Amino acid sequence: MPSLPLPPCYEGPVIRDFLLTLDAAQRELGAILRMPFGKGELIMVCQPDLAYEVLVKQNRNFVKLGADGQTPGLQRILGAGLLTNPDYESWFSHRQIIQPFFQRHALERFAGAMVRASERLIESWHDGEPINLTKAMHKVTLELIFELVFSLYPEEAKAYPIQVPLSLASAKTSTVRRAAALLDDNIYALIKKRKLEHENGKEISDLLDLLLKAEDTGGNKMSDKELRDELLTVFAAGHETTANTLIWALMGLSSNREAKEKLERELRVQSQSLSLESLKRLPYLQAVVKETLRLYPTIPFAPRVSLKDTELGGFFVPKGSRLFVSIYSIHRHETYWENPLAFLPERFLDKGIQAAYMPFGLGERVCLGQHLATLETQILLASLLKHCSFDLEHKEITPRVSISLQPKEEVWAKLRLLQS
């Protein structure tokens, strides 16, 4: 196998912006390439069938970072939670326990919470005022995660400041230590509080409850550290991603007036309250959310490390190589998408999901929260647009990556409250 060549290496100018450098490298070198990154290099995988090879077919070889004995950034905060756990056995056992909570039908009961959260937000706004959409969307998605995980409502949640920005992954060790200490205090306090409530016979139905009662096949319960890691993981993975998706959706709609009007018309005739059932009758809303996640996949890369020498796409990939499956590049390539940089929800109407579409990843490590994220984005977007119109200050917003794909700057919009 070593007789195969290594993937071609990008030697063009490295622009500070990782996404622009990647675009240039991909244009020059194609589907699989090496790119300088920090002190080493990365293999970027930018083709759907190779993504499938890495994430599904050869998934026991291409594993999560950390399985090579190093501690990747996010693992310093999230420990061995589902997202970062490199150990197959414990990951599998926890995934079996947690997954049922996030199945589509099990989330129905949160639809009401999502509508209420959007109503609280709208009630706090005044007609004509400038709105910091970045802050507002992060606030509403954080409130929902608190409710889902701990059954805590905004006033009670204030006593437990838990925020896990994904950018902590690249923070200095001292910053990570300080952040982790504060997070630990709050998470362990909430676990202790719930255990006391259980002793007093109080029944609460949320994620913490499920995890506290769960047992693995050997009859073992999760330790407090395991609980901490899984709970923090859901906070980290589940709030910033959805907040950014909402912002990108508003951004996409503001770039395509026709799409915006079409969605507004669809929402206007919809009189039922928003639920799993009524969302099925909003095909354009569904297409808007799918198109948002195509053009702006808020987790743009799926990182892996190779456990042994192997072959990929006719190239030699040595043991220990770091690979990023670039969902971002695959979603924006003209081979798979017509007019790929335009926001065109129509491309998802009456069409099955395409092989080049993977906003939630692929294979066993596919996103745990994909149904939650989709439901939440659809409901929040629909309820906001039923009552408000947003005139975005910047017509174009550049994305940047800090684990999640986010607008480079805070996004502001002028608000108009609509008569209902």
Q: Would you tell me which residues interact with ligand HEM (CB under 6 A)?
A: 82-83, 95, 102, 233-234, 237-238, 241-242, 245, 293, 297-299, 302-303, 359-361, 365, 367-369, 372-373
> For residues 361 and 399, which CB has a smaller minimum distance to ligand HEM in the complex?
361
Place of tokens 């490295």: 14
How do beta strands 130-132 and 62-63 pair? Answer: unpaired
At how many degrees (to 10) do helices 133-150 and 224-255 cross? 140
> For residues 233 and 254, which CB has a smaller minimum distance to ligand HEM in the complex?
233
Q: State in angstroms the smallest separation of the CB of 122 from ligand HEM.
A: 22
> For residues 6 and 56, which CB has a smaller minimum distance to ligand HEM in the complex?
56
> For residues 191 and 373, which CB has a smaller minimum distance to ligand HEM in the complex?
373
Centre a 10 Å sphere on the Cβ of residue 371 and count the other Cβ atoms it contains.
17
Q: State in angstroms the smallest separation of the CB of 196 from ligand HEM.
A: 26
Q: State in angstroms the smallest separation of the CB of 130 from ligand HEM.
A: 26
- CA-based max dimension of the chain: 69
Residue closest to ligand HEM (Cβ): 369
Angle at the Cα of 260 from the Cα atoms of 256 and 263, rounded to 5 degrees: 140
- Element at 191 (helix H, strand E): helix 173-199
CA-CA-CA-CA torsion for 269, 275, 280, 285, nearest 10 degrees? 60
The closest alpha carbon to 385, from 275, 253, 240, belongs to 253
User: Taking a C-beta distance cutoff of 8 angstroms, is the pair 97, 384 a contact?
Assistant: no
The closest alpha carbon to 326, from 48, 26, 45, belongs to 45
> For residues 253 and 373, which CB has a smaller minimum distance to ligand HEM in the complex?
373
Q: How far apart are the C-alpha atoms of 408 and 292, rounded to whole Å? A: 17
Q: State in angstroms the smallest separation of the CB of 354 from ligand HEM.
A: 16
Q: State in angstroms the smallest separation of the CB of 304 from ligand HEM.
A: 7
> For residues 121 and 293, which CB has a smaller minimum distance to ligand HEM in the complex?
293
The residue type found at 291 is E
Q: State in angstroms the smallest separation of the CB of 28 from ligand HEM.
A: 26
> For residues 345 and 415, which CB has a smaller minimum distance to ligand HEM in the complex?
345
Reduced to 3 states (helix: H, G, I; strand: E, B; else coil), residue 407 is strand
Q: State in angstroms the smallest separation of the CB of 95 from ligand HEM.
A: 5
Q: State in angstroms the smallest separation of the CB of 49 from ligand HEM.
A: 17
The dihedral through the CA atoms of 115, 120, 125, 131 has a sign that is negative
> For residues 44 and 415, which CB has a smaller minimum distance to ligand HEM in the complex?
44
| DSSP conformation letters of 110-135 | GHHHHHHHHHHHHHT--TT-EEEHHH
